[in-house]
Each structure stands twice: as structure tokens, then as C-alpha cells.
Amino acid sequence: MIRVDNLTKTFAAPGGGEVHALAGVSLWIDRGEFVAVVGRSGSGKSTLLFAMGGLATPTAGHVQLGETRVYDLDREARAALRRTEVGFVFQTFNLVPYLTCLENVALPALLAGSSRGEATDAAARVLERLGMSARSRHRPAQLSVGERQRVGIGRALVNGPRVLLADEPTGNLDPATADQVVDLLRELNGEGQTIVMVTHDLRLAARAGRIVRLRSGALDTDPPERVTA
């Protein structure tokens, strides 16, 4: 379902020269998989994730989502693809502080062209699914960090994306809350949601269906290691 072909991403280094964030990464992720991407800080995990979601244009190589080659699309079409096919979850949640939980979750639906009523109905359903209905009128500052991440996951899910891309979703959480978030991701995966999660926590990564290791922008093992959750 997601095919990454020989993906390379090079940045200009501040002091001159180049930094190779990704160096020819190739990867295949099937529908319904839960893949953890692990590696040290600076190994290119997040760059790979953002590139898969159409946010980081690669220097070379391709990303294919379903039948669509993501970077063959122009910026407007890639934005449209992100609206419906991809859901992002972030380490720092990135909730809009002046919107309520319901409004935060409804935002991508509004962007996708839903009416306000349709968007809030969809957001309410997602919040209910995540056990957050009671908090729907609260603003992010009134929530615990675990709850904020649930809202972040809800926002990623509201348009029913093909793939949920989570960038260190437990990075700001205590171990118990992190476990709860990974439990939630596993539940969603159990319902058929394809998930790619970047993490540096090997313990949590072990709960995914497959681990992909990155080192200095390249895959560390080939073929990737399969683990049992």
C-alpha cells in the first residue's frame, strides 16, 4: 500500500556541504500493518515519515501511496491527498490552542470540504470512539498530555485516512500514558488501520507488528526484522 523506492533526502548543512537525511531508503508497507520506525536521533526517521506523508519532497526516489506517486503531484494535489489519505500524529500534539477538542478534530474534515455540521458530527463520533466525548468542549490547555494526544489521534483519524503516520507520539508522555497511547494505536490497527509510528523507544516499538531500523539515513537491516508484540 505504501511503497518507498530508493528515497534520498539531502539538506544543505549550515556550515556548508550537505547532510544526507535519507540515503536510498526502500520500503514496502502493506494495508493494515503497524510498522515502528526506530533509530537514533538524526537517523532520518521523521524525515522518512514526513516524506511518506507528502510533506518533505525527496531529493530523489519515489513514494507511492496506493496507486498514486505522491511527488508526481503538484503541491495543491499533494495537499488534497493529505486531507483524505494521510493522518499525522505529532510528538508535541500541535493542537490549535483556541479551538475546542471537537473543533480541533473537526478541522481536517472542514478542510476536506465537509459542512460544519458534518464535520462536527464526524469529530464527535471519533471522540466517542477514543473515549473523549466528555472533553469535547474543552480546550487543549484544559487536558492532560495523554488526553491531548488522544485528541491528536482523533484529528488524524477523522477523515478515515489510508495511513496514520505518528511521529514520536509518546515522546512527551510518561511511560504509563505512553503505553495507553500505544494500546490505542494497536486497537485502531486491530480495526484495520495502517499505522507507521516513529519512536526511539524500543520497548514501545516492540509492540508494533514490524520494526524498521534506520541508521544514518539508511535501513539498518534488510530484510526488516519481524517482532512479536
Partner 1 sequence: MWMLFIFIGDLRRRWAEYALGAAAVALVVAALVTHRAVTASAEESVHELAHRLGRNMLVVPAATDLSAFHARRFGSEALPDTYPDTIRSSRVAEHVRSIEARLYGNVRAGTGEVVVVGQDLDWPSLGDAEPAILGAEAARALGVAAGGTFSLGGRAFLALRIADPPPDGLDGAVFMPLAAAQRVLGRPGELSALRLGGCWCRIDVATLAGEVEKLVPGARAVTVAGMVKAQKGSVETMQRYSTVLHLTGFAVVALVIGSLAASQARRRARELGLLVAVGASPRALAGMFALQAAIAGAVGGVVGWALAAPLTRQLGASLLASPLAPPAGLLLPAAGLAALVSAGAALVPAARAASLDPTVVLRES
Binding site residues, partner 1, CB under 8 A: 46-47, 50, 53, 55-56, 75-76, 79-84, 88, 90-92, 94, 96-99, 103, 107-108, 110-112, 115-116, 155, 167, 172
Nearer to partner 1, 114 or 189 (CB): 114
Nearer to partner 1, 115 or 142 (CB): 115
Nearest approach, Cβ of 199 to partner 1 (angstroms)? 14
Nearest approach, Cβ of 21 to partner 1 (angstroms)? 10
CA proximity to 127, closest of 159, 161, 102: 102
Q: Is the peptide bond before 224 cis (omega within 30 degrees of 0)?
A: no
Nearer to partner 1, 46 or 189 (CB): 46
Amino acid (1-letter code) at residue 59: T
Nearest approach, Cβ of 227 to partner 1 (angstroms)? 26
CA proximity to 122, closest of 84, 77, 80: 84
Nearer to partner 1, 1 or 111 (CB): 111
CA proximity to 34, closest of 224, 214, 218, 223: 224
